[in-house]
Amino acid sequence: MTAEKTVVLPVSPDEAFALITEPDRLRRWKTVSARVDLRAGGDYRWTVVPGHVAAGSFREIVPGRRVVFGWGWEGSADLAPDASTVTVTLEPVDGGTLVRLVHEGLSAEQEASHLEGWTHFFERLARVATGADPGPDPWAAVPTELGKLSCADATLAVCQRVLRGLTDADLEKPTPCHDLSVRGLVDHLVDSLTALAALAAGTVEVPAGGSPESRVAAAAQQALEAWSRRGLAGTVGVGDDATPADLAADVFSLELLTHAWDLAEATGQKVAVSDPVTQYVLQLADQVSSVRGGAWFAAAGQAGPDAHALERLRAYSGRTAA
């Protein structure tokens, strides 16, 4: 079976090609995170929504005209990475570029679900191509299976939206976090993600000169990939101590969501996060309460009995609203 979808974008073929291939563009409309080796034989790995990773290899690349890649899902027995084929062609037309996607090699059930997915994401792509913000992806708001690593994906999506809203004028503004400026807090977040990757025997390479969002996105994807390979069993070394790996993994969501709040508070933004994710992160905070007052949190504050879950997390982590 084959799923097909078309859309006319009000941009040039080269710009349309960038929107469907470049990680910084893909995060605007389709993915939580994206790693791309854009060459024939190169691979890609896209966290499309929290807990669901599409992966495969590129088979043909013609910049501005055509891209062909294998498609499948990590952990899927029915549609593994590279098990199907996606062909995207770009054709100049009046008013922009006709983008045609053909997804081959699907069962009838897979064709229906993937057509629903491509329709959802092409609607977001069309808005991005006009220069509009498509808003938070509702499909990324609550993972279908809310676990420690899928929650990290969800909070990464939340944090990236705040990072995307930063301007150069924001970088020296103070934040509620340990006397750090916005610039310093972004550096701290990259360092924290690098340290988390190291706990899972991973390394992080962050391109120099990137935007705050692209730096955090690169560090987070590499760290989460390391933890996906390692898993949550056993212990990891934190300083001189052996810490349960699943407890160390809790820090992903705590760092990403609390620092998203810090950055939003510093720059006059709002944090768009679902209640289920915030409640889950509060549960994770309880699990690491034995280390509160050390490297992660200041002394806990108080929140009223009717406070929103994000306000309770803010108080728990010792943050003070402006």
Q: Is 322 helix (H, G, I), strand (E, B) or coil?
A: coil
- In sequence order, what are the residues at sequence separation of 6 or more whose Cβ sits closer than 8 angstroms to the Cβ of residue 228? 53, 74, 149
Average pLDDT along the chain: 91
Rg of the chain's alpha carbons, rounded to an integer?
20
Angle of helix 182-199 versus helix 212-230 axis, rounded to 10: 20
Q: In angstroms, rounded to a whole number, what is the distance separating the alpha carbons of residues 36 and 47? A: 12
Kindly tell me if the per-residue pLDDT of 50 is higher than 60. Answer: yes
How far out from the chain centre does Cα 18 lie? 19
Per-residue pLDDT band at 293 (split at 50, 70, 90): very low
Q: In angstroms, rounded to a whole number, what is the distance separating the alpha carbons of residues 317 and 282? A: 10
Between 177 and 174, the more confident residue is 174
Rounded to two decimals, what is the model's pTM?
A: 0.92
From the options 1.25.10, 1.20.120, 1.20.144, 3.40.1350, give the CATH code of 142-316: 1.20.120
Kindly tell me if the per-residue pLDDT of 292 is higher than 90. Answer: no
Q: Is 144 helix (H, G, I), strand (E, B) or coil?
A: coil
Residues 2-7: what's their mean pLDDT? 97
Lowest pLDDT segment from 142-146, 270-274, 301-305: 301-305
Domain assignments of the chain as residue spans, ordered by start = 3-129, 142-316
CATH architecture of 3-129: 2-Layer Sandwich (3.30)
Q: In angstroms, rounded to a whole number, what is the distance separating the alpha carbons of residues 280 and 158? A: 14
Closest CA to 112 of 79, 76, 66: 79
